[in-house]
Amino acid sequence: MESIEVPDARKRVVIETVRPEIDGGRFPIKRVLGETVIVEADVFADGHDSLACFLLYRKQDTPEWTAAPMSPLGNDRWRGEFCTNDLGLYTYTIEGWVDPFSTWRKDLVKRIDAGQCTDVDILIGVDLIEQASHRASVDDSGRLSNWADKLRSKASQPATYAQALDENLAALMLRHPDRSFAARYEKDLLVIVDRERAQHGSWYEVFPRSCAAEPGQHGTFADCAARMPDIARMGFDVLYLPPIHPIGDWNRKGKNNSPSAGKDDVGSPWAIGASAGGHKAIDRQLGTLQDFQALIAAARTHGLEVALDLAFQCTPDHPYVREHPEWFRHRPDGTIQYAENPPKKYQDIYPIDFETESWAPLWEELRSVVLYWIEKGVRIFRVDNPHTKPFAFWEWMISSVRAQYPDVIFLAEAFTRPKVMYRLAKAGFSQSYTYFTWRNTKPELTEYFEELTTTEVREYFRPNLWPNTPDILPEYLQVGGRPAFMIRLALAATLGANYGIYGPAFELCENLPRQPGSEEYLDSEKYEIKHRDLNSPWSLREFITRINAIRRENPALHKDWSLHFHGVDNPLLLCYSKATDDLSSVILVVANVDFRHTQSGWLDLDLDRLGLDDKHSYQAHDLLGGGRYLWEGRRNFVQLDPREQPVHVLRLRRKVRTERDFDYYL
């Protein structure tokens, strides 16, 4: 009979149901610098003995653990926390043990209350204290020995009891426990700590080649830098550029994705590679490497950061095709398979074959592309179509890059199935595109954002909300006109701590599709240079500026987890709030999702979530429209005309009365 390995039965504590823990500890959770990690677990043992429970944590490159005491919540549930003070990976786990001294102390109180003789019990406590003195530091050892001597003396019982139950003694004993039979949770769990920009930021996408002052001219990095003050004044944090590399000549696309390009057609920036170079080269018409680095420096002076598009795909004339044909999939006739997403065809792009036998040097080369641009000053990458590359590649590449540069941020542009999007986030992407682009109704928005902010998903998936992209002009924007753009901007900017827009197109409410039923733009900027009148009366510049100012000035909008939906008796009105933990910043948003008609209704607010009560009035200050309303209780009336102002962004302030009977609002 096969023998069964018996664990040390003296380790009586059980640790289970640890939260947060992603896929059994396979993947890390995400936090930002300075944020608290709160950990809970079920910790219990047989019998009635008291337990000690500690949360252990350390920076992954630090050998020593730091211990933080966990507190009982009831029903054998415990909670502890620690603060993330450095970028990179932290490890955490839980340790628990039966605590003889706490058990003795608890039982002593019961015996005293019952009027029982406690002489022997006091001596048992003395033994426990003396044992701890042998484990303690020199100073604490002396203090514990003195305490044991006092308890051993024949002093009056009340004085002895007071000494035995002294909180200072309990704290001293907890510092030097007997952990001989401590149980450790079988997994070391991980948390990856990003800088604050990973959690909160507003992105503006612009094509540098469309930034020239004169119509018909090809823009440069210098032209893009000239636009920087306006973009910064609108309140954006990240300037996102499509690929800046040489564009292929073979199978170059013409206007509106035509398979035949004219002699003056500039092609798609995502068709990367030409005789001038590939992913480590710059399109000469945009400028030089020095010009690009000057753009990065100019962005910093305006409080902006440049994000670069990372698209691992090649044109037929990319150097990789000539130098490493084994990195591409060949068809039976010997030709290389170009990219397709039926019915769409991308004859100007060759996808990379990640199943090649030469996968190892391929991976190394692609990582070197990322490291090259990091060394040139880029710290944010928007990754194109990561769901068409292996999860294992991203996990390896991102973790190895972040081991050298923990401040790098990766945004996953993956509009695909939910589980694939979530797996990419688990694999290491700092932020992710979402389905917000197509969630328009109240039920759609409520259900989706409750999933993102109230389930385990929030531990690893950071949403970045985009109402449009160069590839996607949603039907809502096509048919809704200017009110639709205002609604979607306000929702993106307040539902999400991270959001972005395909900049000039959104500013000017461009909404003409290539054809009915299509989400592609007519005369898409992907295939041609655009020259726009940014001073057009259609511009949303002032509205965008105000929205971004509200985001910056109100910390409640800097995080996602506090999002809470409130009741409204009109299905076309959406109401939700965000608040800081201390309720010093509370924002309530009411949006009319009907871009055609005025809608009104009665709100049914969850006052507890807002830090309010039904006994005191409070002020609702409309940060967009400027109005100030004195509200009382849960039910309050709102009316929103989409042609004027389709959204209220309200800062709630409760009334406080001073000693001089003067009312003001916090």
- Which residue(s) pair with 564 in the sheet? 577
Statement: residue 1 has pLDDT above 80: no
168 & 187 share domain: no
Q: Is residue 362 part of a domain?
A: yes
pLDDT at 159: 82
pLDDT at 2: 60
Give residue-wise pLDDT tens across range 430-449: 999 999 999 999 999 999 99
170 & 29 share domain: no
pLDDT at 654: 82
511 & 635 share domain: no
CATH code of the domain in which 426 resides = 3.20.20.80
CATH code of the domain in which 106 resides = 1.20.58.80
433 & 360 share domain: yes
398 & 425 share domain: yes
Q: Which of 305, 317, 384, 510 is catalytic?
A: 384
Query: What's the mean pLDDT in 133-158?
Result: 85
> With 0-12 CB in 10 A as exposed, 13-18 as middle and 19+ as buried, what is 214?
exposed
Overall pTM surpassing 0.75 (yes/no): yes
Query: What's the mean pLDDT in 286-303?
Result: 98
- Determine contact, residues 646/591, Cβ cutoff 8 Å: yes
Cβ-based neighbours of 324, under 8 Å, separated by 6 or more: 358, 361, 362, 365
pLDDT at 656: 58
Omega cis (within 30) before 20:
yes
C-alpha to C-alpha distance for 519 and 227, rounded to whole angstroms? 28
Give the start-end residues of each E strand in 60-109.
66-69, 71-74, 77-83, 88-98
Classify strands 498-502 and 201-205 as parallel, antiparallel or unpaired: parallel
Statement: residue 533 has pLDDT above 90: yes
Structure tokens at 570: 């009109």
Q: Is 413 a catalytic residue?
A: yes
Query: What's the mean pLDDT in 222-247?
Result: 98
Q: Is residue 199 part of a domain?
A: no
- Determine contact, residues 234/541, Cβ cutoff 8 Å: yes
Q: Which domain holds residue 63?
A: 14-98+183-193
pLDDT at 8: 78
133 & 231 share domain: no
DSSP 147: H
91 & 110 share domain: no
> With 0-12 CB in 10 A as exposed, 13-18 as middle and 19+ as buried, what is 572?
middle
CATH code of the domain in which 69 resides = 2.60.40.10
Q: Is residue 527 part of a domain?
A: no
Decide: helix, strand or coil at residue 50.
Answer: coil
- Determine contact, residues 626/563, Cβ cutoff 8 Å: no
pLDDT at 664: 44
Statement: residue 211 has pLDDT above 70: yes
632 & 549 share domain: no
Q: What percentage of the chain exceeds 70 in pLDDT?
A: 97
CATH code of the domain in which 660 resides = 2.60.40.1180
Q: Is 384 a catalytic residue?
A: yes
Give residue-wise pLDDT tens across range 624-645: 999 999 999 999 999 999 999 9
Statement: residue 661 has pLDDT above 50: no
Q: Which of 194, 223, 413, 528 is catalytic?
A: 413
Structural domains of the chain, count: 4
Statement: residue 87 has pLDDT above 50: yes
75 & 121 share domain: no
Q: Is residue 526 part of a domain?
A: no
Q: Is residue 261 part of a domain?
A: no
Q: Is residue 348 part of a domain?
A: no
Q: Is residue 344 part of a domain?
A: no
**Considering only CA atoms, which of 443, 470, 478 is closest in space to residue 205?**
470
503 & 421 share domain: yes
572 & 450 share domain: no
Structure tokens at 470: 């160069």
